Amino acid sequence: MPLTSPKLNRSHNLPVSSQKWIAAGVIIAVAFLSVVAITRAQFLQNRRGEFQPAPPSGDTMVTNGLIVRYWIDEAESGTTPTTLEDDGHGTDMDLTITYAGTMVWTNSSSSMRGLHCESASGDQRASYGALVAGDKLYDQLDNSITGTLEIVVSCNTFSSGGGRIFHLDDDTGGNGEFTMRCSSTSQPDNIQFFASLPNEKINGNIDAASAERIVWHWVFDTSLADNADRVKCYTNGVEVADADPAITQNEPLSFNVNETFYLLNRQSGSSYGRSMTGVLYYAAAYNIAFDSNQVTTNYNRLITDDDL
């Protein structure tokens, strides 16, 4: 009588039960390698600011290309905490707050929180420095030909020397490489955007010192063929026609190593005490140039609620 044996597959000469285990193992291995590949791709995209996690439920804000974001909602009054938290992508760049006796937290505009500056010449600021390779703001904007600056602010007065709102500077007293500012001697108090393209000054043709809470977008893309499109300014979602600088096509931003990043006054000292009176509610920077639809999307969110 022949010996009994497990049922064999004639083509592979293996028991069917063994084949099933091998097939299952192959499926598991392929699935594992796929997960590793996706995770690695997301990691690399996140380093470049391309991979975007899902926004909070019901939040439709654009987050593509987000580098740093400061909701400026840590308190409703007083002079604590001493840190402004970054909610951007990648490693956080939290800012150190200096109140200097001239800045306090407020909850004054439609229950939205912000930092209230009580003097245009005080030393109040939130800062991070010095920027070096590896800091995401430096890595993603230095040598970039695209970017967007997003600010929510209400202004009353500015230092005559040029009150800062958002500022990157090497602390030598220059206008800065990526700066939003205003001067009380401007005509009429125009918000200005300075960028190392090389150091172009672009005026937003609107009365900044109106005490109105305004959502600002400065958008640059120097790759565009039409010079008029390379830098644009939007206030409350509407493009300002006056922003039309002479910028060389494909001209990149250029930062110096060890520059300091400031919100409000650029640095201490009487000659540099250049700020504003008013409230800074929100600030963010992106490595992409927003189109008009993206500007509108974020404006609609921020004008209603600029707190997290």
Sorted by where each begins, the domain ranges of the chain are 7-51, 66-304
Structure token pair of residue 132: 């070096």
What pLDDT is stored for residue 29 in this prediction? 57
The per-residue pLDDT string of the chain (308 residues; one tens digit each, 9 = 90 and over) reads: 444 444 334 344 555 455 555 555 656 654 555 444 433 334 334 433 443 443 443 468 999 999 999 999 999 999 999 999 999 999 999 999 999 888 999 997 678 999 999 888 778 899 998 888 899 999 999 999 999 999 999 888 777 777 788 888 776 666 667 888 776 665 445 667 777 665 566 666 555 556 678 899 999 999 999 888 888 889 899 998 765 567 889 989 888 778 889 898 877 555 567 778 889 999 999 999 999 999 999 999 999 899 98
Give backbone dihedrals phi and psi of 99, rounded to 5 degrees, phi first: -80, -35
What pLDDT is stored for residue 255 in this prediction? 83
Picking from 67, 73, 82, 69, the residue whose alpha carbon sits closest to that of residue 125 is 82
Tell me the whole-structure pTM to 2 decimals. 0.78
What pLDDT is stored for residue 55 in this prediction? 42
- Rounded to whole angstroms, the Cα distance separating 73 from 172 reads 31
Q: Where are the beta strands (DSSP E) in 160-225?
A: 163-169, 178-182, 190-195, 200-207, 213-221
Picking from 137, 142, 285, the residue whose alpha carbon sits closest to that of residue 217 is 285
Could you check whether the bond before residue 55 is cis, i.e. omega within 30 degrees of 0? no
End-to-end CA, the chain? 81
Q: Which residue has the tokens 């991070």?
A: 128
**What's the angle, vertex CA 202, arms to CA 199 and CA 207, rounded to 5?**
140
CATH 3.40.640.10 describes domain 66-304: no
What pLDDT is stored for residue 158 in this prediction? 78
What pLDDT is stored for residue 248 in this prediction? 86
Cα 100 to Cα 54, 63, 97, 247, 261: the distances in Å are: 38, 33, 9, 38, 18
Structure token pair of residue 241: 């026609």
